[in-house]
Amino acid sequence: MKQWHTLVDALNAAPGDRPFVTSWIDDDEQDEVTFAEFRRRARVHASLLLDQGVAAGDRVVIVMPQGIAAMTVFAGAMMLGAVPAILAYPNFKIEPAKYSSGLAGVAANLAARVVVIDEEFPEDLLGHVSLHDSSRLIRAGRASDGGSESELPVAGIRPDGLAFIQHSAGTTGLQKGVALTHETVLTQVGHLARALQIDGAIDRIYSWLPLYHDMGLIACFILPMVCHVPLVMQSPLDWVMHPDTMLQVISDYRCTLAWLPNFAFQFVPRRTPRERWPQFDLSSMRALINCSEPVRASSMEEFLQAFAAIGLKRNALQSSYAMAENVFAVTQSDINDPGGPKCIWADSMRFRSEHRVATVPQGTPGAMSFASSGRLLPNHVVRIVSDNGEILPECAVGEIHVKSDCLFEGYYNRPDLTASVLTAGWYHTGDLGFQMAGELYVVGRKKDLLIVGGENLYPQDIEEIVAGHPAIHDGRVVALGMYNPNLGTEDIVVVGEVEREETLVDAAEIERELRSRVVAAMGVAVRTIILKPPKWIIKSTAGKPSRSGTREKLVHEHPEFDV
Amino acid sequence: MRETIRMTPEAQQMKQLIAELIRRPNLVIDENTALVSSGLIDSMALVDLLVKLEDITHMRIPPGKVQPKDMDTIALMFATAQRVGKPRK
């Protein structure tokens, strides 16, 4: 891959007649743009932003549905040297007031010059949008039918200038805008392109991943833009409601690369009627990369067993460990290894009690398996650290710290949050893992982040909503992610103490109310709500609810969660 | 109770699937019970409802033409199938 100075240079160098983005909606409805048409639409949007006074360095918040228009606004902002950030589009479950306050918070933190919404943005949400004093709300069309392009100023974009900001999900996550420079992003894309041996003239990426998430934004928009790879994408909602369309799109377009969170490896085979499997052909796939949730060997094996008969090769199944703070990937499995990612078996007792991985032969009773996330990308270093800061040897489980040449420099406008995770160039990921024979294995989260269907959710956000109910003892709520083997992802389980034990007779009604409050505020459904009498939740020495203590007690009383 | 009696056999079939999905025997649902917006059904269960709806109505409901809000109640599901469903090939 050529060394570009900026992302805009890379886009401008793409062959104009090569297809770039195909937005797949249905058999009879697709929108496809070449690189030349993508650039033209981006310039139309850049002109619109310019008319609104957007200049180099200004932040541009984009709240548009998944599709070409959101991407061309993003690229248009970068052409001006402005700094775009894509946020999640409101889903209908979220209450307008809750959504708007979140949006206003981000726009204020970024001090965004403009917030760009699409022409169909719901009116009821619009009424609630209150923005930062200097932010303006504008609607962008699709720019598909012409549109005026004024002369764009020479932006003078510098490689060390900010390119864009990416967020993790949730109210808490929205305060963490990961600010990235052009050269940082290009460094990451270069590493990844070499590790995956990407060739824009041959490869084609499939994606349903949301653009407000690093896996969707970097792997399935920025990487193909820089490496000039055609991309076929659909909206996450269309995919989740019709998971078999992923197989159809890969077959029809002969896609070669895709990234998926772990749960999708189970969800697609289980939710695609078996009689439809023979209609599809996955032989074109050379890397289907499991990323963003801890990798489970069983989920990948299930996918392989289902689809080997329709051409899926074992070595097409790959894994990676990635995070927004490192632009994206830290590790990548070896795509030339015919066996796919390494998988080891370990003694579960020693793992739980000594936090060490002692390998045992596959099939040993009580053994647990771990799938590797692969090897470190070049110029990446990882250390495994204990709770008291000691650097741990190979096979010991501790927090993963990362240092690399594409690490972020900080959260936008939040030096306090930056200081809590970045020390002497090491990023404290909050993930737990271990190293063995040059491979990194990720086993879970230290920070109690819930990863549901590949989305990051902060338990504090859910706990705050539940604790706001009058029947619940304030502050006595714990939200946990419990692995659901049937779904291959975590379920949200909430344990709350009632204020008075006698209210437990109304548990069903309270539970119903809590469920709708969480969904209205966050757009996600809680799988299980468990109401307990006062003093049930385990407290830490600081007097706060202890997540780990409460988890243990819950598993003890409800063995169905112990998987 | 009256709502239940008025349900068509097709709606009854859908109600039975929903009851299996949400596994809450004491919860009474009718054609107008909010399922998605109330948090009873999560996004990942929508595909089960769609597959069932396609089976019951003998229609194909194309992606891109249906949103979670169109599946929020049993009544809306059947209205959606009428509106966007295509005859099965």
- Whether B64 sits inside 8 A of A25 (CB atoms) is yes
Q: Considering only CB atoms, which chain B residues are within 8 Å of A95? A: none
Report residue A68 as tokens.
Answer: 């070409």
φ/ψ of residue A390, rounded to 5: -80, 140
B37, B59, B89, best to mutate vs chain A, most A CBs in 10 Å: B37
Residue A197 one-letter amino acid? Q
Calculate helix-pair angle for A507-522, A459-467, nearest 10 degrees.
130
Residue A525 forms part of a structural domain: yes
Structure tokens given for B11: 């709606």
Q: What is the mean pLDDT of residues A247-272?
A: 94
Q: Cβ neighbours of residue A2 under 8 Å, at least 6 residues apart?
A: A13
Task: Tell me which chain B residue has its CA closest to the CA of residue A525.
Answer: B39
The pLDDT value recorded for residue A560 is: 79
Nearest by CB to residue A26, choosing from B46, B65, B68, is B65
Cross-chain Cβ contact A516/B37 below 8 Å:
yes
**Number of neighbours of residue A480 by Cβ within 10 angstroms:** 23
Buried b (16+ CB within 10 A) or exposed e, A455-464: bbbbbebbbb
Residue A424 has pLDDT above 80, yes or no: yes
Q: Which residue of B has its CA nearest to A23?
A: B64
The burial of A76, by beta-carbon neighbours within 10 Å (0-12 exposed, 13-18 middle, 19 or more buried), is given as buried
Q: Are A545 and A539 in contact (CB under 8 A)?
A: yes
Range with the poorest average pLDDT among A236-245, A444-453, A466-475: A444-453
Strands A426-436 and A439-445, bridge-based pairing: antiparallel
Pair of tokens at residue A450: 């819930």
Q: Where does A322-391 have alpha helices with state H? A: 348-354
Per-residue pLDDT tens over the stretch A311-350 = 999 999 999 999 999 999 999 999 999 888 899 999 877 8
- A242 within a domain of the structure (yes/no): no
Q: Is A518 a member of any domain?
A: yes
**Cβ neighbours of residue A389 under 8 Å, at least 6 residues apart?**
none
With a cut of 60, say whether residue B4 has pLDDT above it.
no
Whether A276 contacts chain B with CB within 8 A:
no
**In Å, how far is A28's CA from the nearest CA of chain B?**
10
CA B9 to chain A, closest CA, distance in angstroms equals 24
Instruction: Check A240 against B38: CB less than 8 A apart.
Output: no
Using CA atoms, how far residue A354 sits from A22, A440, A506, B37, in Å, is 50, 19, 43, 44
Does the beta-carbon distance from B63 to A93 stay under 8 Å? no
What residue in A sits closest to B61 (Cα-Cα)?
Answer: A242
Distance CA A402, CA A325 (A): 10
Question: Residue A452 and residue A491: Cα distance in Å, rounded?
Answer: 7
Contacts of A28 (CB under 8 A, 6+ apart): none
Q: Where are the domains of chain B?
A: 2-87
Pairwise CB contact (< 8 Å): A238 & B64: yes
- The stretch A104-131 carries a mean pLDDT of 79
Give contacts of B48 with chain A, Cβ < 8 Å. Answer: 271
Cβ pair A60, A86 in contact under 8 A: no
Residue whose pair of structure tokens reads 């606004």 in the numeric block: A73
- The rounded distance, in Å, linking the Cα atoms of A347 and A83 is 49
Cβ distance of A526 and B44 shorter than 8 Å:
no
> Which tens digit of pLDDT belongs to each residue from A148-158?
676 777 668 99
Residue A278 has pLDDT above 50, yes or no: yes
Taking all residues of chain A, what is their mean pLDDT, rounded to a whole number? Answer: 89
Confidence class of residue B2 from pLDDT cuts 50, 70 and 90? Answer: very low
Q: Tell me the three state secondary structure of residue A204.
A: coil
Q: Is A99:A75 a contact under the CB 8 Å cutoff? A: no
Greatest mean pLDDT range, A69-73, A111-115, B16-20: A69-73
pLDDT per residue over A505-539, tens digit each?
889 899 999 998 888 877 788 989 999 998 899 87
| pLDDT score for A326 | 97
For A20, residues 6+ apart whose C-beta sits below 8 A from its C-beta are: A14, A33, A34, A35, A37, A38, A224, A225, A230, A231
What is the edge-to-edge ordering of all strands in the sheet holding A489-498?
A472-484, A489-498, A528-532
User: How far, in Å, CA of A368 to CA of A394, rounded?
Assistant: 18
pLDDT tens per residue, range A156-177: 899 999 999 998 654 455 668 9
Which tens digits make up the pLDDT trace of B7-40? 899 999 999 999 888 877 777 889 999 998 888 8
Q: What is the DSSP string of A406-437?
A: T----BTT-HHHHHHHEETTEEEEEEEEEEET
How do residues A377-410 score in pLDDT, each as one tens digit? 999 999 999 988 999 999 999 999 999 999 999 9
Q: What are phi and psi of A167, to 5 degrees?
A: -110, 155
Pairing of β A450-452 and β A422-423? unpaired
User: Which residue in A235, A243, A525 is closest to B39 by CB distance?
Assistant: A525
- Residue A26 CB: number of other CB atoms within 10 A? 15
CATH superfamily of B2-87: ACP-like (1.10.1200.10)
CA atoms within 13 A on the CB side of A531: 24
Nearest CA in chain A to B48: A271
Report how far residue A129's alpha carbon sits from residue A245's, in angstroms, rounded to the nearest whole number: 35
Spatial separation of the C-alpha atoms in residues A307 and A283, rounded to whole Å: 10
CATH number of the domain residue A547 falls in: 3.30.300.30
> Cα-flanking dihedrals φ and ψ of residue B32, to 5°?
-110, 10
Q: Assign A470 to helix, strand or coil.
A: coil
User: Do residues A106 and A61 make contact, with C-beta atoms less than 8 angstroms apart?
Assistant: yes
What per-residue confidence (pLDDT) applies to A127? 65
Question: Highest-confidence range of A98-107, A425-434, A534-543, by mean pLDDT?
Answer: A425-434
Q: Are A205 and B31 in contact (CB under 8 A)?
A: no
Residues of B within 8 A of A508 (CB-CB) are 26-27
State how far residue B48 is from chain A, nearest Cα, in angstroms.
Answer: 7
Q: Name residues 199-238 of chain A within 8 A of B (Cβ).
A: 234-235, 237-238
Q: Where are the alpha helices (DSSP H) in A442-559?
A: 459-467, 507-522, 547-557
DSSP helix, strand, coil percent of chain A (3-state; round to 5): 35, 25, 40
A242 touches chain B (CB under 8 A): yes
* Single-letter amino acid code for the residue at B17: L
Instruction: Give the tokens for residue B38.
Output: 């109330």
Partner B, chain A 488-517, Cβ-Cβ below 8 Å: 508, 512, 515-516
The reply to whether A261 falls in a domain is: no
**A486 CB within 8 Å of a chain B CB:** no
User: How many Cβ pairs closer than 8 A exist between chain A and B?
Assistant: 75
The dihedrals phi and psi of A169, each to the nearest 5 degrees, come to: -80, 175
- Are the C-beta atoms of residues A180 and A159 closer than 8 Å to each other? no
Nearest CA distance, B6 vs chain A (angstrom): 25
Q: Would strands A343-347 and A367-371 be described as parallel, antiparallel, or unpaired?
A: antiparallel
Q: In the prediction, which pLDDT does A19 show?
A: 98
Residue of B39, B50, B51 lying closest to A519 (CB–CB)? B39
The verdict on a CB contact (< 8 Å) between B38 and A519 is yes
Q: How many structural domains is chain A composed of?
A: 1
Is A526 touching B (CB cutoff 8 A)? yes
Closest listed residue to residue A281, CA positions, set A313, A318, A247: A247
Over the stretch B49-82, which tens digit does the pLDDT of each residue have?
A: 999 999 999 999 998 889 899 999 999 999 999 9
Q: Give me the pLDDT at residue B61, please.
A: 92
Check pLDDT > 80 for residue A144: no
CA distance A382 to chain B (A): 35
Whether residues B63 and A273 touch (CB distance < 8 A) is answered with no
Contact between chains at A526 and B63 (C-beta distance less than 8 A): no
Identify the domain containing residue A464 by its residue range.
458-561
Strands B86-87 and B59-60: antiparallel
In this predicted structure, what is the pLDDT of residue A50? 94
> For the residues A100-106, what does the mean pLDDT come to?
75
Which residues from chain A sit within 8 angstroms of residue B62, using beta carbons? Answer: 26-27
Position A408 scores a pLDDT of 95
What per-residue confidence (pLDDT) applies to B1? Answer: 45
Based on C-alpha coordinates, what's the Rg of chain A?
23
- pLDDT value of residue A499: 82
Is residue A435's pLDDT more than 90? yes
Phi, psi of A359 (to 5 degrees): -70, 145
Q: What mean pLDDT do residues A177-196 have?
A: 97
pLDDT the model gives residue A169: 53
Q: Is the pLDDT of residue A308 over 90?
A: yes
Facing residue for B40 by CB, picked from A240, A453, A515? A515
Instruction: Kindly give the interhelix angle for B9-22 and B74-84, rounded to the nearest 10 degrees.
Output: 120
Phi then psi for residue A161, to 5 deg, are: -85, 160
Q: How far apart are CA A455 and CA A478, in angstroms?
A: 19
